[in-house]
Structure 1
Amino acid sequence: MTPPPSVQWSFRLWVAAVVVGVLGSAFSLATAATVPSGFAAGSGIAGAVIGLLFLAALVYLALRMRQGDHWARLVLAVLGGVSAVFTVVGVLLTAGLGVSLGWVSTVLSLGQAALIVAAILCSYQAPANAYFR
């Protein structure tokens, strides 16, 4: 059975969120202050690797969702919802503490959160619900 347009849109939005996430990670690594070798430098690279693995998992789950796997839609909704909330709270907290992430990082983070929320909403529209039954 061919996925309905809402599921196709959800898939595209998930992929767009992953692309924005990769761009955000690359931008963060490129603009990070030069740190002497040691724990701080290694933790930045480790964080980037973990982030990229998370983004790869999202692509896998989005592919499974597009194939009609209800469990993948549910996992995406939970992981995406938590990610979007933490992103928005993180941006607000850093702004409240007077820490500047830079406008590019802020726009990328909030844009990714918006794409994730839109992807979740698309995957739970009526035609999508019928597809996953």
Structure 2
Amino acid sequence: MTPPTSVQRSFQLWIAAVVVGVLGSVFSLATSATVPNGYLAAGGIVGVIIGLLFLAALVYLALRMRGGDHWARVALTVLGGVSAVFTVVGVLLTAGLGVSPGGVSTIVSLVQAALIVAAIIFSFQAPANLYFR
């Protein structure tokens, strides 16, 4: 069965969120602080690797969701919802504490969170609900 438009849109938004996340990781690596010998700080690299693994998991789940697996839609909702909430809370906390992670980094994070929220909304529209039954 072909997925309805709402599921296709959700899938596209998940992929867009992943692309934004990858671009954010590349930007983060390119602008991260270096230690005196010129190598990137190990913590930054580990963070980027964990982030990329998370993004790979989102791609896998999005593919499964598009294929009609209800459990993948639920997993995406939980992981994406937690990610979006932590992103927004993190931005608000850093702004409230007067810490500036950088304008580009903040914008990338908020765009990614918005894409995730939109993807979740599309995955629960009426045609999508029928598709997953």
* Larger mean Cα displacement after TM superposition, 102-111 or 68-77: 102-111
C-alpha contact (below 8 Å) 2:33/2:41 kept by paired residues: no
In the TM superposition, structure 1's runs of 4+ consecutive aligned residues that sit over 3 Å from their partners are: none
* Larger mean Cα displacement after TM superposition, 88-97 or 67-76: 88-97
Give distance in 2, aligned partners of 1:17 and 1:36: 34
| Ranges in structure 1 where 5+ consecutive residues have no aligned partner | none
Superposition CA RMSD, Å: 1.1
| Ranges in structure 2 where 5+ consecutive residues have no aligned partner | none
> How far did residue 32 of structure 1 move?
1.2
- 2:121 aligned with 1:121, yes or no? yes
* Larger mean Cα displacement after TM superposition, 1-10 or 94-103: 94-103
- 2:93 corresponds in structure 1 to 93
* TM-score of the aligned structures, taking structure 1 as reference length: 0.95
> How far did residue 36 of structure 1 move?
4.0
Give distance in 1, aligned partners of 2:35 and 2:56: 27
Identity %: 80
- 2:63 aligned with 1:63, yes or no? yes
- 1:75 corresponds in structure 2 to 75
Give distance in 2, aligned partners of 1:115 and 1:67: 20
1:27-42 to 2 correspondences below 5 Å = 27-36=27-36, 41-42=41-42
Give distance in 2, aligned partners of 1:32 and 1:93: 21
Amino acid at match of 2:9: W
Q: How many positions carry a matched residue from both structures? A: 131
- 1:21 corresponds in structure 2 to 21
> How far did residue 118 of structure 1 move?
0.1
- 2:108 corresponds in structure 1 to 108
Amino acid at match of 2:100: S
> How far did residue 101 of structure 1 move?
1.5
* TM-score of the aligned structures, taking structure 2 as reference length: 0.95
- 1:47 corresponds in structure 2 to 47
Amino acid at match of 2:17: A
> How far did residue 82 of structure 1 move?
0.1
> How far did residue 44 of structure 1 move?
1.1
* Larger mean Cα displacement after TM superposition, 90-99 or 40-49: 40-49
Give distance in 1, aligned partners of 2:62 and 2:29: 26
